[in-house]
């Protein structure tokens, strides 16, 4: 009878375990600032500051307020939660959350896929970007599984959208933030140390820098207003001269800029900029910009996109501006999977992913594979031959030559241990990887609950068995007493 009760108890707990796990699974889840709009410059000469502000307030009718923007972001997630998540990367000077929408078929999950980010409203008086980015998010949701380009992006890219980097500047109708600081001059610079003091850095800048350190972005773009051009690095020169100053990946950047300009309604037909693109330093140099910082310190290829000649066009022109920019915005995101070389890097001795470095011969720039999955996504201009090298301390370097045409190239590397190096790097790494996997498994909340229930079940079984043994001896003792009495 005790055996039957134990089996029944075991059956009940197994079913409870399954139901509990299922319930948890269901619940788990630079318009560079040197440019001044001619219309605004003229108004500054003839109108008082108060009248200028009144004009901007009139222009703002039909644009989303900061409160409207937050509601639009939350409404988007409520409608498109199956391919999105929302999160904040920090707060502005006045405490406004810097909301981000991530769009992916697996939002929030780390995968061997490239990540792309769009940032709007870097300058408070350039609000078109924030409007277009909300339209972009909703278009992707509405057309997922219907439009091939929308489906390609959602299934193969982690797209992160920050509609407003400068909500305070927007509400104040000013270029800078609430401290009157131009956020596109507030990043560390490669030539001059003016922004090296961390304490003097603005909270919005700190939030962007922290975000990029946490998320491995392949490419990005910021949206500005006051011109119509795709701007690429470098933005400054060492002697502050106004000259073309190419970065190591100049050809790849020109390719990306032309991709955006060429897909635009009329950007590529510009009379001011050849093909609708420009090197930043050639246009006019700036220092402390976000674009160059991304490339140098974040391993991220960033463009600065001037998407409307008018900084603050009437709201009834927003739909037209969206139509002019939509295809360009989509093509730029898709470029991170439709071009370049992609792959993963593994160790031959223990088969673990290696966060090695990827170098292209004759291009003085290195990118790193991701730490956990060791995937890399290296953008390159098509139509050329490249020698790709994977390297990591403790392992032999491997190189392969590829030809980039009009399609992406997949290239995985398996690196062999370098036994000539007399250190214990390799076995420790493999052992640590194994230990790390165990720790990651143990820290899994589903596994923790399962283990707890198993332990409880085992303890109950032990008690039942103990009780059965005790009862057995009691019965034997009683029978023995009866026999003695009978004798």
Give, for 347, the enclosing helix (H) or strand (E).
Answer: strand 341-347
Distance between start and end Cα atoms, the chain: 32
Residue 458 pLDDT: 65
Cα 478 to Cα 288: distance, rounded to the nearest angstrom: 92
Name which residue leads in pLDDT, 383 or 37: 383
Concatenated DSSP letters for 293-316?
Answer: HHHHHS--EEEEEEEESSSS--GG
Residue 317 pLDDT: 97
The conformational region for residue 120 under phi > 0 = left, psi -120 to 50 = alpha, else beta, is beta
CATH superfamily, region 341-417: Carboxypeptidase-like, regulatory domain (2.60.40.1120)
Locate 459 and state its tokens.
């303890």
Read off the pLDDT of residues 427-449 as tens digits, 9 standing for 90 and up. 445 644 444 444 344 445 554 55
Mean of the per-residue pLDDT values of the chain: 85
- 306 among known catalytic residues: yes
Give the count of beta carbons closer than 10 Å to the beta carbon of residue 462: 10
Give, for 354, the enclosing helix (H) or strand (E).
Answer: none
Residue 91 pLDDT: 98
Characterize the bridge pairing of strands 341-347 and 409-410.
Answer: parallel
Provide the CATH topology of domain 61-338.
Aminopeptidase (3.40.630)
- Tell whether the model's pLDDT for residue 39 goes beyond 70: no
- 208: phi then psi, degrees, rounded to nearest 5: -65, -45
Locate 243 and state its tokens.
């000259």
- 93: phi then psi, degrees, rounded to nearest 5: -55, -40
Read off the pLDDT of residues 2-38 as tens digits, 9 standing for 90 and up. 444 444 444 444 343 333 333 323 233 333 333 333 3
Max Cα separation, the chain? 127
Among 204-218, 400-414, 416-430, which stretch is predicted with the lowest mean pLDDT?
Answer: 416-430
Q: For residue 180, give Cα distances in angstroms to 170, 240, 312.
A: 12, 24, 19
β-partners of residue 345 are 413
Give the count of beta carbons closer than 10 Å to the beta carbon of residue 256: 26
Q: Where are the domains of the chain?
A: 61-338, 341-417
Distance of alpha carbon 465 from the chain centroid: 55
Residue 419 pLDDT: 87
Give, for 212, the enclosing helix (H) or strand (E).
Answer: helix 203-214
Name which residue leads in pLDDT, 159 or 479: 159
E strand intervals along 202-356: 219-224, 227-232, 277-279, 301-308, 341-347
Query: What's the pLDDT band for 54 if we cut at 50, 70, 90?
Result: confident
- Tell whether the model's pLDDT for residue 455 goes beyond 90: no
Residue 465 pLDDT: 66
Locate 469 and state its tokens.
């043994």
Query: What's the pLDDT band for 462 if we cut at 50, 70, 90?
Result: low
Name which residue leads in pLDDT, 46 or 461: 461
Read off the pLDDT of residues 119-163 as tens digits, 9 standing for 90 and up. 999 999 999 999 999 999 999 999 999 999 999 999 999 999 999
Which among 192, 287, 184 is positioned nearest to 236, based on CA atoms?
Answer: 287
Cα 268 to Cα 274: distance, rounded to the nearest angstrom: 8
Cα 76 to Cα 421: distance, rounded to the nearest angstrom: 54
- Tell whether the model's pLDDT for residue 464 goes beyond 90: no
Q: Decide whether 61-338 matches 341-417 in CATH topology.
A: no
The conformational region for residue 427 under phi > 0 = left, psi -120 to 50 = alpha, else beta, is alpha
Q: What percent of the chain has pLDDT over 70?
A: 76
Quick one: three-class SS letters along 406-423?
CCCEECCEEECECCCCCC
Catalytic residue among 131, 204, 302, 306: 306
Q: If you search the block for the tokens 């399962």, which residue do you land on?
A: 450
Residue 471 pLDDT: 58
Residue 379 pLDDT: 98
E strand intervals along 3-147: 84-91, 97-103, 115-119
Read off the pLDDT of residues 317-355 as tens digits, 9 standing for 90 and up. 999 999 999 999 999 999 999 999 999 999 999 899 999
Cα 51 to Cα 55: distance, rounded to the nearest angstrom: 6
Mean pLDDT (whole number) for 78-103: 98
The conformational region for residue 351 under phi > 0 = left, psi -120 to 50 = alpha, else beta, is left
Residue 423 pLDDT: 53
Residue 295 pLDDT: 98
Residue 365 pLDDT: 98
Count H helices, E strands: the chain?
Answer: 14, 16
Residue 450 pLDDT: 58
Which among 220, 225, 176, 224 is positioned nearest to 202, based on CA atoms?
Answer: 176
Cα 10 to Cα 31: distance, rounded to the nearest angstrom: 68
Characterize the bridge pairing of strands 277-279 and 227-232.
Answer: parallel
Give, for 39, the enclosing helix (H) or strand (E).
Answer: helix 38-46
Which among 218, 228, 328, 239 is positioned nearest to 275, based on CA atoms?
Answer: 228
| Residue 102 CB partners (closer than 8 Å, separation 6+) | 84, 85, 86, 87, 108, 158, 159, 160, 161
């Amino acid at each position: 009878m005790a055996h039957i009760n134990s089996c029944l108890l075991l059956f009940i707990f197994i079913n409870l375990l399954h139901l509990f796990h299922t319930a948890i699974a269901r619940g788990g889840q630079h318009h560079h600032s040197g440019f001044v709009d001619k219309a605004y410059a003229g108004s500054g000469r003839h109108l008082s500051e108060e009248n200028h502000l009144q004009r901007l307030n009139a222009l703002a009718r039909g644009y989303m307020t900061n409160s409207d923007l937050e509601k639009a972001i939350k409404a988007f997630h409520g409608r498109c939660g199956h391919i999105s998540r929302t999160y904040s990367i920090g707060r502005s000077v006045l405490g406004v959350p810097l909301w981000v929408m991530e769009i992916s078929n697996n939002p929030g999950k780390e995968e061997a896929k490239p990540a792309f980010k769009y940032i709007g409203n870097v300058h408070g008086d350039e609000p078109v970007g924030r409007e277009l980015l909300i339209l972009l998010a909703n278009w992707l949701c509405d057309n997922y599984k219907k439009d091939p380009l929308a489906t390609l992006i959602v299934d193969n890219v982690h797209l992160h959208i920050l509609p407003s980097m400068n909500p305070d500047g927007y509400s104040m109708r000013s270029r800078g933030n609430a401290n009157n600081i131009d956020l596109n001059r507030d990043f560390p610079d490669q030539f001059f140390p003016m922004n090296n003091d961390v304490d003097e850095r603005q909270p919005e800048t700190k939030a962007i820098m922290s975000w990029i350190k946490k998320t491995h972005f392949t490419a990005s773009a910021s949206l500005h207003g006051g011109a119509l051009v795709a701007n690429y690095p470098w933005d400054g020169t060492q002697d502050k001269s106004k000259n073309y100053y190419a970065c190591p990946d100049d050809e790849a950047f020109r390719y990306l800029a032309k991709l955006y300009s060429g897909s635009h309604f009329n950007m590529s037909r510009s009379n001011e900029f050849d093909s609708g693109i420009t090197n930043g330093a050639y246009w006019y140099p700036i220092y402390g910009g976000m674009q160059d910082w991304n490339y140098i310190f974040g391993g991220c290829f960033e463009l600065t996109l001037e998407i409307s000649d008018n900084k603050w066009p009437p709201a009834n022109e927003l739909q037209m501006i969206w139509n002019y920019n939509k295809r360009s915005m989509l093509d730029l995101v898709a470029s991170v999977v439709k071009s370049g070389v992609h792959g993963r890097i593994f160790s031959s001795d223990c088969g673990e992913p290696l966060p090695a470095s990827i170098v292209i011969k004759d291009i003085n720039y290195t990118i790193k594979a991701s730490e956990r999955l060791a995937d890399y996504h290296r953008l390159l201009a098509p139509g050329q031959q490249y020698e790709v090298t994977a390297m990591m301390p403790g392992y032999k370097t491997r190189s392969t030559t590829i030809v980039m045409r009009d399609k992406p190239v997949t290239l995985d590397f398996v690196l062999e241990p370098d036994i000539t190096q007399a250190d214990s790097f390799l076995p420790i790494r493999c052992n640590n990887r194994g230990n790390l996997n165990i720790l990651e498994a143990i820290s899994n909340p589903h596994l923790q609950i399962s283990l707890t229930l198993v332990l409880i079940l085992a303890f109950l079984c032990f008690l039942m068995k103990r009780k059965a043994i005790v009862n057995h001896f009691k019965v034997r003792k009683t029978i023995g007493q009866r026999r003695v009495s009978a004798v």
